[in-house]
């Protein structure tokens, strides 16, 4: 695992492995670090920041969250991950790969654990993939905003074999799942778990939809890592593979069945009746997995542009204020009392 390997690696080996990952897919590494930062900044950090990076996990309930915060803050002083990559390349070129100090070693181990995961790998895809994803989900309403970034999640052989064993020739379909960006750190590491969902109108399970517009409403923008190349605020939608398993409650018909039985479209503990059309309620955590992440990003304007924009938006108030100052100046200039006062104190 990344955490065990990084513990045994020297500083120069850690730098090289991090540099290799940043060189191969800078934006994917940025996304993984942003997920970690978003979980840490959440008021539910003790719930959503799971797993905790092992170098900050003392094996008790009292995790060193402050240490993670300090490490990410120190990392931001390097600039973006692009700046960090250039710095690592420069160190290697100039043979500056000696022993690291404690703070640098902690930061390197945190980065390596975050971006070099043995179980899952994140890849940046072209935006053109969005059209294919809409076809996979059989989305009926195609006029939805395209994401700024698309990422694919791939799994190691062990996890692939486990998923394939459950699939065992069954059909597979795709659905969208909206969630706060702070939840994606855990989703990426552990997958989607039905007991974590608060919605239970149609029974306990993970709720997905074939319509992106439905899931986007559950994905509000959240703060990313402050030095992220993606943007200051991220909104993420998961695209999941769903095995056509009896534990998946839905209305969709498959080629292997003339239609769904009523028991297939309703969970035993449902208080809202049948699962609506274009919705899926997955009650077996192993029957779905994250495949793509759609990222909608917002970047804040430069400080000077913000100042100009504020002045433009409040131009009427500024003009009126300037006009009042002119009137005040003219009034004072024509005031005998003010003139007398001015001559006295001049």
Q: Where are the domains of the chain?
A: 2-115, 120-298, 302-332
Question: Could you tell me the pLDDT band of residue 77, with boundaries at 50, 70 and 90?
Answer: confident
Residue 53 burial (10 A CB sphere; 0-12, 13-18, 19+): buried
Under DSSP, the state recorded for 263 is G
- Of the chain, the percentage scoring pLDDT greater than 90 comes to 54
Cβ count near 286 (within 10 Å):
15
* φ/ψ (deg, to 5) at 291: -120, -45
Decide if pLDDT at 306 tops 50. no
Decide if pLDDT at 310 tops 70. no
pLDDT tens, residue by residue, 31-53: 999 999 999 999 999 999 999 99
In Å, what is the CA distance from 112 to each residue of 54, 62, 154, 290? Answer: 11, 23, 18, 22
Residues 286-293 have a mean pLDDT of 96
Which tokens hold the place of 65? 């969250």
Question: Could you tell me the pLDDT band of residue 201, with boundaries at 50, 70 and 90?
Answer: confident
Question: Could you tell me the pLDDT band of residue 128, with boundaries at 50, 70 and 90?
Answer: very high
Which tokens hold the place of 46? 């003790």
The pLDDT of residue 304 = 47
Please indicate, yes or no, whether the overall pTM of this predicted structure exceeds 0.95. no
- Tell me the C-alpha distance between 166 and 265, whole Å: 21
Sorted by sequence, the CB contacts under 8 Å of residue 341 that are 6+ apart come out as none
Residue 76 burial (10 A CB sphere; 0-12, 13-18, 19+): middle
Question: Could you tell me the pLDDT band of residue 255, with boundaries at 50, 70 and 90?
Answer: very low
**Strand 149-155 vs strand 288-298: parallel, antiparallel, or unpaired?**
antiparallel
CATH topology of domain 120-298: Phosphoenolpyruvate Carboxykinase; domain 3 (3.90.228)
> Is 23:92 a contact under the CB 8 Å cutoff?
no
The pLDDT of residue 228 = 95
User: What is the Cα 301 distance to its own chain's centre?
Assistant: 20
Closest CA to 201 of 282, 271, 283: 271
Would you tell me the crossing angle of helices 26-41 and 81-93 to the nearest 10 degrees?
120
> Is 192:285 a contact under the CB 8 Å cutoff?
yes
Decide if pLDDT at 190 tops 90. yes
Closest CA to 269 of 326, 203, 332: 203
Question: Could you tell me the pLDDT band of residue 173, with boundaries at 50, 70 and 90?
Answer: very high
DSSP letters, 157-201, are HHHHHHHHHHHTT--EEEEEEE--GGGHHHHHHH---GGG----T
The pLDDT of residue 271 = 64
Question: Could you tell me the pLDDT band of residue 1, with boundaries at 50, 70 and 90?
Answer: very low
Sorted by sequence, the CB contacts under 8 Å of residue 15 that are 6+ apart come out as 88, 91, 92, 97, 108
């Amino acid at each position: 695992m990344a955490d065990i390997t990084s513990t045994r690696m020297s500083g120069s080996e850690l730098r090289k492995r991090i540099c290799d990952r940043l060189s191969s897919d800078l934006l994917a590494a940025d996304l993984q670090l942003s997920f970690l930062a978003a979980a840490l900044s959440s008021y539910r950090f003790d719930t959503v920041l799971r797993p905790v990076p092992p170098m900050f996990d003392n094996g008790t309930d009292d995790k060193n969250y402050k240490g993670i915060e300090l490490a990410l803050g120190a990392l931001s002083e390097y600039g973006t991950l692009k700046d960090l990559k250039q710095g690592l390349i420069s160190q290697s070129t100039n043979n500056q790969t000696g022993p690291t100090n404690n703070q640098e070693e902690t930061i390197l181990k945190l980065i390596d654990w975050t971006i070099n995961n043995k179980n899952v790998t994140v890849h940046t895809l072209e935006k053109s993939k969005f059209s294919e994803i809409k076809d996979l989900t059989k989305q009926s309403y195609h006029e939805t905003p395209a994401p700024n970034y698309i990422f694919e999640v791939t799994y190691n052989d062990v996890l692939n074999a486990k998923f394939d064993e459950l699939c065992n020739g069954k059909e597979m379909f795709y659905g969208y799942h909206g969630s706060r960006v702070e939840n994606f750190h855990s989703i990426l590491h552990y997958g989607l778990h039905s007991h974590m969902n608060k919605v239970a109108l149609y029974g306990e399970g993970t709720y997905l939809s074939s319509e992106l517009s439905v899931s986007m409403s559950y994905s509000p923008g959240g703060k990313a890592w402050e030095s992220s190349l993606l943007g200051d605020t991220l909104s993420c939608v998961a695209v999941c593979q769903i095995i056509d398993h009896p534990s998946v409650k839905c209305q969709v018909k498959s080629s292997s069945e003339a239609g769904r039985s009523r028991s297939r479209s309703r969970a035993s503990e449902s208080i809202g009746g049948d699962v609506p059309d274009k919705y899926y309620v997955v009650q077996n955590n192993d029957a779905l997995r994250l495949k793509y992440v759609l990222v909608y990003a917002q970047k804040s304007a430069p400080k000077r542009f913000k100042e100009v924009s504020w002045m433009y938006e409040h131009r009427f108030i500024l003009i009126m204020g300037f006009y009042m100052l002119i009137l005040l100046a003219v009034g004072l200039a024509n005031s005998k009392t003010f003139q007398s006062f001015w001559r006295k104190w001049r």
